[in-house]
Amino acid sequence: MSRGAGKWQTLLLDALDRHQAFYAADLLSPGYTRAQYVALLRALNVLERSGVAAVDRYTAWAASGRRVVVRRPGRAVHRDDVRRLR
């Protein structure tokens, strides 16, 4: 039985209230660990499955690897619409 949104889910939901689209990794502090990033992605997957958030994964946008973009469901997002949070 769930006890409500966890720490990472709350962080993601707050950011979605403020921005229509953003990079997931921008919610983490500089020097974040792999475990923190995986926990964030896990929380994001829960929100995506429940229909609260939509997730796009891009490799062409980033020279240094994959970018995970979080957006509101039902809204198309262009690269220029994605906000940098830090």
Q: Which CATH number is 55's domain given?
A: 1.10.10.10
In a domain, 86, yes or no: no
For residue 57, pLDDT beyond 90: no
The band of 1, judged by pLDDT with boundaries at 50, 70 and 90, is very low
Structural domain count of the chain: 1
In a domain, 1, yes or no: no
Instruction: Kindly state the average pLDDT of the residues 14-36.
Output: 91
Instruction: Kindly state the average pLDDT of the residues 23-46.
Output: 92
* Segment holding 54, helix H or strand E: strand 54-58
CA distance 78 to 35: 29
CA distance 9 to 81: 22
In a domain, 50, yes or no: yes
What global pTM score does this model have? 0.80
Range of the structural domain that residue 32 is part of? 7-81
pLDDT score of 2: 64
